[in-house]
Structure 1
Amino acid sequence: MTGRWQMMVALSLCVALFSANWTALYVAQQAISRDLHLTSAAGVWLIYLYPAALLAVLIPVKGRLSVLLLGLGAFCLASFGAALAPNGAMLIGCRAGQGLAAAIALRAGFELAREHFRGTEWGPALVLPVALAVPALIAGPVIGGVITDYLSFRWVFLINVPLTVVALVLVALFTPRRAPHPHPHPHPRA
């Protein structure tokens, strides 16, 4: 597996993490509302603010690798803050932070991948993140329900911390530092 495909695997794991995180609260929301005394309106904000914040993926970014790492780091911090949130307002703010950080990381990651997969290679490269995102979206409620039933809703957020650290390390290790040249240079004839 070449460096750019290793990078694509690392980016795909990030996509899966963000996808499962999106839907994990659908089941955990009842426990969160009960424990933090959220109103119905606050519960709606908790669920829908993350996907709304993901719309920031439409914002162009510069400095792709550094922005990707920054987005992952911010996602990790927002997840940790959500796990420790003493009230609904802080939890909702951290949830918005998770969505924005995920959007930044996704946009930077896909632009970075686009530099390494050109032309007809781009379509096959996208199969991997999509192949992981769909089952992660489906698994999110199951994961959220199991964690909430056996631990606490706080672990739905806390589990993101080590997973994001792993994603940070994989992205940092496997992302090629230079994009391939668009056209090979012909060798001069002797």
Structure 2
Amino acid sequence: MTGRWQMMVALSLCVALFSANWTALYVAQQAISRDLGLTSAAGVWLVHLYPAALLGVLIPVKGRLSMLLLGLGGFGLVSAAAAFAPSGAVLVGCRAGQGLAAAIVLRAGFELAREHFRGTEWWPALVIPVALAVPALIAGPVIGGVITEFLSFRWVFLINVPLTVVALALVALFTPRTAPTAYARP
């Protein structure tokens, strides 16, 4: 496997992390609402602000690798802040931050993939993240339920921190610094 394909696996793990994080809150929301005294409206914002913030994926990025690493680091930091959020308002804000950070990673990752894969390789490269995102979306509520049941809703956010560190290391290690010569843009 070349560095390009290893990069796609690393980016796919990021997509899986973001996907599971998205749906884990569906189950954890009741415990969060109870523990932090969220209103029904705040509970709705908590769950739906993350995918809404993912619309940030439409924002163009420059410095693809540096933006990807910045977005991943931001996701980890905001996840840690969410784990220790003292109120529902802070948690809702952190959730928006998670969505924006994930959007930055997705946009930068997509641009890196587009730079490194052309022609007949493009679609197979794109299938890897989708293949991991779908089961992660399905697993999210199970993961959120188990964590909430046996630990605390705060661990739904805290578990993202070590996973983000691993993702940062993999992306930094496996992302080629330059596009292949055959695919370089004019």
Shorter-chain TM-score range: over 0.9
CA distance in 2, matches of 1:10, 1:116: 14
Distance 2:173 2:158 in 1: 24
5 Å-filtered alignment, 1:15-164, equals 15-164=15-164
C-alpha contact 2:118 2:183 (8 A) present in aligned 1: no
Contact 2:115 2:183 in 1 (8 A): no
| SS of residue matched to 1:182 | helix
Scaled by the length of structure 2, the TM-score of the pair is 0.97
Query: Take 1:180 and 1:51, find their aligned partners in 2: how far apart are those partners?
Result: 33
Structure 1 counterpart SS, 2:181:
coil
- Counterpart contact for 2:61–2:67, Cα < 8 Å: yes
Distance 2:183 2:91 in 1: 49
Question: The residue matched to 1:92 in structure 2 has which SS?
Answer: helix
Structure 2 gaps of 5+ residues are: none
C-alpha distance in 1 between matches for 2:7 and 2:27: 32
Deviations 1:116-157 (A, max 9, x none): 001111001011100000000000000000000000000000
CA contact (8 A) 2:10 2:171 kept: yes
**TM-score, normalising length from structure 1?**
0.95
The CA distance in 2 between the partners of 1:183 and 1:89, in whole Å, is 47
CA contact under 8 A between 2:116 and 2:183: conserved in structure 1? Answer: no
RMSD of aligned Cα (Å): 0.9
CA shift for structure 1 position 182: 3.1
Partner residue, 2:2: 2
Runs of 4+ in 1 over 2 A off after TM superposition: none
Q: Deviations over 1:43-72 (max 9, x none)?
A: 000000000000000111110000000000
- Tell me: CA distance 1:132–1:183, structure 2 relative to 1, closer, same or farther (3 Å): closer
CA distance in 1, matches of 2:41, 2:174: 42
Aligned partners of 1:111, 1:117: CA distance in 2, in Å? 10
